[in-house]
Amino acid sequence: MTNKISEKPIIKIGDSIEALASKNLVLSCSKNLADSKSNARSGHITVDSRQIAPGDIFIAYKGVTNDGHAHLGRMGILGAALLVVEDPALIPANCETPWIQVRSGREAWSFLCAAAFDNPQDQLDFIGITGTNGKTSCVWMIRALLRARTIPMVAVGTVGAYIGDLFVPTTHTTPDPPELYWLLSKAVKAGSKYCAMEVSSHAICQHKLAPIRFKATAFTSFSRDHLDFHKDMNEYLTAKLQLPLHLSHKDSFNLFCASLPKNIFDRLDKVGFNNFKLYSSKPSTEAYIQSKTNSVSVDGTSITVSGSISESREFLLPYLGQHSVENFCASLAICEKLLQKEFLPEEIKNLPQIPGRLEKVPHNKGPCVLVDYAHTPDALEKSLTAVKRLTSGRIVLVFGCGGDRDAGKRPQMGAIAAQFADFSFITNDNPRTEDPAAIANQIEAGFAGVLKNDLTKHEILLDRPGAIKKAIMSANSGDIVLIAGKGHEDYQIIGAEKFPMDDRLIAAGVLYGNME
């Protein structure tokens, strides 16, 4: 069952002024603002000048590529009732629309949308997961664990949002404020007690979560990504650390993966932050919760967990890879801490696979095929390392890199593929407006760095469905085909257009229809 956002945020003009003032966002205001305070009319909240209707509230902020202040001259003509701006000097002199200057238009957008939906964030306990990789897996596992106890909750992240069994497609890992606070209000009305949410660095920098304070958090991993948005890795880390440092309750339960780079813990020590526990997929005397892997197969992983609120327990997980075990430890610890009750092995054995995270494609013959979202160097290496433990046969890899995104990681991923896979098909992965062949050539440069002049371990085949088919057809029954990069995504972006395409469906079609 699916749904989609059906309500636009709407608020009384007077209430919007009070909401901004109560959060100390207001820096100054127009002389005629008092007239708006007595105006009980309601207006929609928007940052899109194309959607303005008479009586609406327009928020202008300076974005990465566009500046909403450029459209202020049209607001009086369009009938806007209130302007929320960062720079009143950019309001035309002949504009008579009342205005408020705020320190951050994005922050104001979040608080106003929250207020428009009756501040649903005040009625939920929030669990926030950040990190370069692992966010989706943790949120999915937390959802599965709470659902095993029939505890009503909402999960928000890359694969969409789930309010109980209701699936709501979303446009971003952390949705924009109108969508996010509408989702939370719908969850509250459905009786949800908890919200597990992926917290992206973009969302933190864009103040989408300003009204929210998290009761539990986890920092899963940190490696190169999003350097098309952040100027460097230091800025990227600073954004990530805002979750436990500034977006959490004072008594929040904060977890950090023990395998995180040392400089992260140095940073925490430097600012005097010690309100956190460690989790580990290896034996550790310092970890709050730790695990030991007993056995692995393509059907799952057997582990022994110790710590959290219980004695040692053995679980059989439907997940693959050390990173998946780490994510499970974090998810289990958070759920047990919040519920103050241990989970038993029988509650774990029927947990569902995580969409597109080393997800096994069903088959009755041919090689084992796994579909994974790995689209960063670190994630690709972790996935290939995990797959290596599952087979004595060959690893055939299908992967690419996204266009209009960080180009520096392309040769790095090529080098990792050359080192860990037996054969790789370099293919399209949302090339967007870039030349697909140019992207593939940049990936191929990484192969040359590792294998020198050996061109026998990879092939460029830009037709992704064709590459998937050729990879499966070239593999033997004891091999594993890893299709990386897109995971749960059911589309391919070429130019500015989305085309339907799902790696899992393509692979299943080959396995069941063309394996003779």
Report which DSSP code applies to 429: S
pLDDT band at 516 (very low <50, low <70, confident <90, very high): very low
Q: What's the angle, vertex CA 189, arms to CA 186 and CA 193, rounded to 5?
A: 95
What is the per-residue pLDDT for 283?
Answer: 86
> Higher-confidence residue: 271 or 349?
271
With a cut of 50, say whether residue 1 has pLDDT above it: no
The whole model's pTM is what? Answer: 0.90
Residue ranges of domains in the chain: 10-116, 120-348, 359-513
Tens-digit pLDDT profile for residues 11-41: 999 999 999 999 999 999 999 998 766 677 8
Cα separation, 356 vs 433, whole angstroms? 25
Q: Which CATH number fits domain 359-513: 3.10.20.440, 3.40.50.720, 3.90.190.20, 1.10.287.990?
A: 3.90.190.20
Cα separation, 90 vs 305, whole angstroms? 59
Taking the CB of residue 88, how many other CB atoms lie within 10 A of it? 17
Cα separation, 483 vs 429, whole angstroms? 11
3-state secondary structure of 124: coil
Q: Which CATH number fits domain 10-116: 3.40.50.720, 3.40.1390.10, 1.10.3720.10, 3.30.70.3340?
A: 3.40.1390.10
Average pLDDT, the chain: 93
With a cut of 60, say whether residue 378 has pLDDT above it: yes
Cα separation, 382 vs 380, whole angstroms? 5
Domains 10-116 and 359-513 share a fold: no
307 near 328, Cβ under 8 Å?
A: no
Tens-digit pLDDT profile for residues 96-119: 999 999 999 999 999 999 999 999
What is the per-residue pLDDT for 37?
Answer: 62
3-state secondary structure of 50: helix
Name which CATH class applies to 120-348.
alpha beta
